[in-house]
Amino acid sequence: MATMVITGIPTATLFIPWCWLTGNVLPLYKGTRFMLSSSCWMAGVRFHVEGMENIPRDRACIFMANHVSNLDPPALISLIPGRTSAFMKRSLMQLPVLGTGFRQGDFIAVDRSGNPSAAQESVAAARRVLAKGVHMTTFVEGTRSPDGRMLPFKKGPFFLAMGSGAPCIPVSIHGTESILGKGSKRMHPGPAHVVFHPPIDPASFSTREELTAAVRAAIASGLPEWMRT
């Protein structure tokens, strides 16, 4: 937390106004990535990453990951090459300063009330972000798993994939559930494993359900056996 404060305050102070003045969000984004990666390193988190060569460098992708810890979003944002947006709770977008940075970075608010029109608006906003050449990152279970085991996947990310045609990059994350478990406020140093699987082309599937099954199988293949069910 100390590292995040020490690096986060000057990042926000310098680069949020810069983005307002110039429209260039990259300094803010790069500063945020540095803040996240350095904070994890200072906390004793050591990432073991596989499959970076599987990420296309010439087009925007949808990164689809399992979710076992609050550490997962900063881990992925600091690892994904290029710039990524993400879905996040609407309440986080309303926070002072942080909410401004999220909006400048094209992060997309998600309404968890189950309102169909709100869900459609979020998917439409994500398609606009992809059209800019910015990646999308989504945790396809919609919430953190309480015990590390995979939960059912939400439909929204797969509607987005089928509608946009953007490659899906399944991502397997494990180890973070031991470093910062659900409900815990204390971090424990240790290894975190992140596997980027080969891209899956939505055009290869005739239905959303088939695409969902393929992404789920890919994510499961990079997880310990006990997390797969």
Residues 112/145/172/141 CA torsion (nearest 10 deg): -30
pTM: 0.90
Q: Average pLDDT, stretch 15-29?
A: 86
User: Do residue 158 and residue 205 come from a single domain?
Assistant: yes
User: Can you tell me the distance from the alpha carbon of 161 to that of 70, in angstroms, rounded to the nearest whole number?
Assistant: 24
Q: What angle do CA 109, 102, 194 make, to 5 degrees?
A: 85
Q: Average pLDDT, stretch 143-149?
A: 92
Give per-residue pLDDT as tens, 38-63. Answer: 888 888 899 999 999 999 988 999 99
Give per-residue pLDDT as tens, 184-201. Answer: 777 889 999 999 999 999
User: Do residue 125 and residue 22 come from a single domain?
Assistant: no
User: Do residue 51 and residue 19 come from a single domain?
Assistant: no
Higher-pLDDT residue of 199, 156: 199
* Listed range (27-36, 46-55, 90-99, 100-109) with the worst mean pLDDT: 90-99
Domains identified in the chain, total number:
2
User: Can you tell me the distance from the alpha carbon of 51 to that of 214, in angstroms, rounded to the nearest whole number?
Assistant: 17
User: Can you tell me the distance from the alpha carbon of 211 to that of 207, in angstroms, rounded to the nearest whole number?
Assistant: 7
What range defines the domain where residue 18 resides?
1-42
User: Do residue 168 and residue 58 come from a single domain?
Assistant: yes
* Listed range (51-55, 120-124, 174-178) with the worst mean pLDDT: 120-124
The reported pLDDT for the residue numbered 6 is 75
Confidence of residue 36 (pLDDT cuts 50, 70, 90): confident
* Listed range (3-7, 13-17, 39-43, 87-91) with the worst mean pLDDT: 3-7
User: Do residue 212 and residue 106 come from a single domain?
Assistant: yes
User: Do residue 75 and residue 164 come from a single domain?
Assistant: yes
Residue 82 clears pLDDT 70, i.e. is over it? yes
Higher-pLDDT residue of 147, 229: 147
The reported pLDDT for the residue numbered 15 is 80
User: Can you tell me the distance from the alpha carbon of 210 to that of 199, in angstroms, rounded to the nearest whole number?
Assistant: 15
Confidence of residue 219 (pLDDT cuts 50, 70, 90): very high
User: Do residue 56 and residue 1 come from a single domain?
Assistant: no
What is the radius of gyration, based on Cα positions, of the chain? 17
Of the chain, the percentage scoring pLDDT greater than 90 comes to: 54
The residue whose two tokens read 């979003």 is: 73
The reported pLDDT for the residue numbered 42 is 86
User: Do residue 108 and residue 27 come from a single domain?
Assistant: no
User: Do residue 36 and residue 50 come from a single domain?
Assistant: no
Residue 114 clears pLDDT 70, i.e. is over it? no
Three-state SS sequence of the chain: CHHHHHHHHHHHHHHHHHHHHHCCCHHHHHHHHHHHHHHHHHCCEEEEEECHHHCCCCCCCEEEECCCCCCHHHHHHHHCCCCEEEEEEHHHHCCCCHHHHHHHCCCEEECCCCCHHHHHHHHHHHHHHHHCCCEEEEECCCCCCCCCCCCCCCCHHHHHHHHHCCCEEEEEEECHHHHCCCCCCCCCCEEEEEEECCCECHHHCCCHHHHHHHHHHHHHHCCCHHHCC
User: Chain-wide mean pLDDT for the chain?
Assistant: 89
Residue 177 clears pLDDT 70, i.e. is over it? yes
